[in-house]
Amino acid sequence: MIEQDDDKRLQESLRQKTWDETITKDSWMVFRVMSEFVDGYEKMARIGPCVSIFGSARLKEDNFYYKMAVDIAKKITEIGFGVITGGGPGIMEAGNRGANGYGKSIGLNIELPFEQHFNPYVDKGYNINFDYFFVRKVMFVKYSQGFVVMPGGFGTLDELSEALTLIQTNKIGKFPIVLVGSEFWSGLLDWFKGTLLKEGLIAEKDLELFRVVDTAEDAVAHIKAFYDKYSVSVNF
């Protein structure tokens, strides 16, 4: 059944559209995108300094990294930051759970056919829905003073890569990026060093754009140390 649905979607995407279909769909999509940006800006502009926590939606509350994400989020609120997550289950739920009742707990949800639903730990008024991933990613980057990246899948890698690329290309100012779990991230880091760096596709200094840690204390300490040195401010 899933394969049949995938086939139908593929066939529809490859079907030659009429001019009326193309111009109508594309024109109205512009307004939908604009409305998401406006809604996001209006709701996020008043939240104050926050740190975003990313990770898999599939991890349950008995998972080691779920428990650590709860701890990290609570400790983040203790140094004066709110917490932003994708608003769904798993690590996102853990981040909101740790912040709930201690600081602002924000959820930027995305409409998906599976996995995603708002978790109960997002503050009322700060559960924002998005249809477009790229609009949602702008909100994460624009309103975050740091990224904590827990173990996750393609979505987590997408959000990590977006931030690294924007900082590397000087499109935004540098902010702390923490990868939690040296064992989990070791394969990716080996590829960064053994392939990307070796082939001259990144510079040695690009490896300084993030910090790898194994404890909640070290994750939060890295963020605090950064802002002890630099004043807290919105990125752009």
Cα 94 to chain centroid distance, Å, stands at: 14
- Tell me: the pLDDT tens digits for 61-94? 999 999 999 999 999 999 999 999 999 999 999 9
* Structural domain contains residue 204: yes
Residue 23 lies in a domain: no
Per-residue pLDDT at 71: 98
Within a domain: 55: yes
Q: Is 163 in contact with 149 (CB distance < 8 Å)? A: no
Q: How many domains does the chain have?
A: 1
- pLDDT computed for residue 26 by the predictor: 76
pLDDT average, residue stretch 98-120: 87
| Domain-located, residue 103 | yes
Does residue 8 fall inside a structural domain?
A: no
The number of residues in the chain equals 236
Q: Check residue 58 and give its pLDDT.
A: 95
Confidence of residue 95 (pLDDT cuts 50, 70, 90): very high
CATH number for the domain including 78? 3.40.50.450
**What are the structure tokens assigned to 32, written together?**
């939908």
Average pLDDT, the chain: 90
- Please state, in angstroms and rounded to a whole number, the distance separating the CA atoms of residues 228 and 158: 29
User: Each residue of 216-226: pLDDT tens digit?
Assistant: 999 999 999 99
Range of the domain at 206: 47-229
Please check whether residue 86 lies inside any domain of the structure: yes
Residue 188 in this model has a pLDDT that exceeds 60: yes
Whole-angstrom distance, CA of residue 145 vs CA of residue 50:
6
Query: For residue 87, what pLDDT is reported?
Result: 96
User: What pLDDT score does 129 carry?
Assistant: 92
Residue 105 lies in a domain: yes
C-alpha to C-alpha distance for 14 and 182, rounded to whole angstroms: 42
Spatial separation of the C-alpha atoms in residues 183 and 117, rounded to whole Å: 29
pLDDT digits (tens, 9 = 90+) for 116-143: 678 999 999 899 999 999 999 999 999 9
The pLDDT value given to residue 142: 96
pLDDT digits (tens, 9 = 90+) for 21-31: 666 677 788 99
- Alpha carbon 167 to its chain's center: 15
